[in-house]
Amino acid sequence: MEKLGRSGVGVSRIGLGTAPLGGLYTAVGDQQAAATLEAAWSAGVRYFDTAPRYGSGLAERRLGSFLAGVDRSEATVSSKVGALLDPARRDYTVEGVYASLAASLERSGLDAFDILLIHDPDDHWEEAVRHAYPALARLREQGGVRAIGVGMTQAEMLVRFVRETDVDCVMVAGRYSLLDRTAADELLPLCAERGTGVLVAGVFNGGILADPGPGAYYDYAPAPEPVLKRARGLAERCAAHDVPLAAAALQFPLRHPAVTGIVVGARSPEEVAEDLALAATPIPEALWTELD
C-alpha cells in the first residue's frame, strides 16, 4: 500500500472504480458485480472508490455488501459528497455534506469511509470552499474520516483547493493521460511540493485509449475526429514496440512521482484481469521516450 500524501492512509497503486458496477453505460447484475469485486480483491486490490451518484447509490450498496464478507481493516474506501443521487441535484452546504455522508454510510453499511472527496464542485467554488471543505475538515479532526480531498475532471480548480485549503489528496479524472497532460503543468508539481496525494482516474479518457476504434468515447461523449486521429497515432507508436495502447495508457500516470495511485473502473472479472495484465505489461523505455 502507498501512503496517500501526508494523511497516512494507504492505497493500492491500482484501485477499483465502482461507477461501472453502478450501471455506467450498461447495467450490471448483482452476481456479476459481486464477482468483479471478488476478482479485484483476490488479485490484491485494496483500494475501492465509489460515490452516491454511481447508479443512484447502487455502487455504494454493492461495495458495502462485498466488504461485509472480507476483512474491512485491509480495505481503503473513498466516497464523495456534494453530487447527490439525483444527477440534477448538488449540495455543498455543511448540512448537505453531513446528510450525504449519513446516507452513504447507511447504504453501504460501513461504519466510516477512509477518504471523503468533494465531488465535481465546478460551478460551486464558493459553497464548496466555504462550507463543504470546513465540514470535511471538522470530520477529519474528530476522527470521522482519515483523509479528505476533492475529485474533479479539471485541474485548475484542484490547484486552487491545494493552494487555499489543507486537503490531503485530489482525484483528477482524465487530465493526466496520454491524450491530456493538463495536470502536469501546475497541479502535480504543486501537490509534490505540498505533500498532497494524487489519485488519477479516467486513464483511458472515457474509453478511447483502450480502443480508439469507430464510435470510441472521449470524456463521456463520442470522440471528435482530431482526437481519434491522435489516439490512433499513439496506438501505432505502441504497436511498433509490441505494446497495447491500453497498457501504456494505464501505466502512464504511475510514472509521475507525485501520483500515488490510479483508479480504474471494471464491470466484470474479465475486465479486472485485463486491467491488471495491462499494468504488468513490460514497456520499453524507448516507447516512453517517444510518447513523452
Q: What is the predicted pLDDT for the residue at 44?
A: 98
Instruction: Band the pLDDT of 87: cuts 50, 70, 90.
Output: confident
Q: For residues 201-228, give the mean pLDDT.
A: 95
- Residue 88 pLDDT > 90, yes or no? no
Strand runs labelled E in the chain: 2-3, 10-11, 14-17, 47-49, 76-81, 115-119, 147-152, 169-173, 197-201, 217-218, 221-222, 259-265
Please check whether residue 148 is in contact with residue 168, taking contact to mean a CB–CB distance below 8 angstroms.
yes
Instruction: Band the pLDDT of 29: cuts 50, 70, 90.
Output: very high
Q: What is the predicted pLDDT for the residue at 162?
A: 98
Domain count within the chain: 1
Q: What is the predicted pLDDT for the residue at 105?
A: 98
Q: Give catalytic residue positions.
A: 54
Residue 289 buriedness (CB in 10 A; 0-12 / 13-18 / 19+): exposed
Q: Return the higher-pLDDT residue of 25 and 79.
A: 79
Q: Give me the domain span that covers residue 283.
A: 2-291
Taking the C-alpha atoms of residue 219 and residue 166, their distance in angstroms, rounded to an integer, is 29
Share of the chain above pLDDT 90, in %: 96
Instruction: Band the pLDDT of 211: cuts 50, 70, 90.
Output: very high
User: If we measure between CA atoms, which residue out of 209, 227, 219, 292 comes closest to residue 255?
Assistant: 292
Q: What is the predicted pLDDT for the residue at 57?
A: 97
Share of the chain above pLDDT 70, in %: 100
Taking the C-alpha atoms of residue 205 and residue 226, their distance in angstroms, rounded to an integer, is 14
Residue 165 buriedness (CB in 10 A; 0-12 / 13-18 / 19+): middle
Cell numbers found for residue 143: 476522527
* CATH code, domain with 270: 3.20.20.100
- Residue 86 pLDDT > 90, yes or no? no
- In angstroms, the Cα distances linking 267 to 17, 19, 29, 199 are 9, 9, 10, 20
Q: What is the predicted pLDDT for the residue at 110?
A: 98
Q: What is the predicted pLDDT for the residue at 18?
A: 98
Reported as a single tens digit per residue, the pLDDT across 43-81 is 999 999 999 999 999 999 999 999 999 999 999 999 999
Cell numbers found for residue 73: 481493516
Beta bridge partners of 117: 80, 149
Cell numbers found for residue 162: 491545494
Could you tell me the pTM of the whole model? 0.97
Q: What is the predicted pLDDT for the residue at 220?
A: 83
Reported as a single tens digit per residue, the pLDDT across 150-195 is 999 999 999 999 999 999 999 999 999 999 999 999 999 999 999 9
Q: Spell 29-67 as b/e; 16+ CB within 10 A means b.
A: eeeebbbbbebbbeeebbbbbbbbbbbbbbbbbbbbbbb
| Sign of the torsion formed by the C-alpha atoms of 288, 213, 278 and 204 | positive
Residue-averaged pLDDT of the chain: 97
Contacts 24+ apart (CB under 8 A), 212-218: 212/245, 218/179
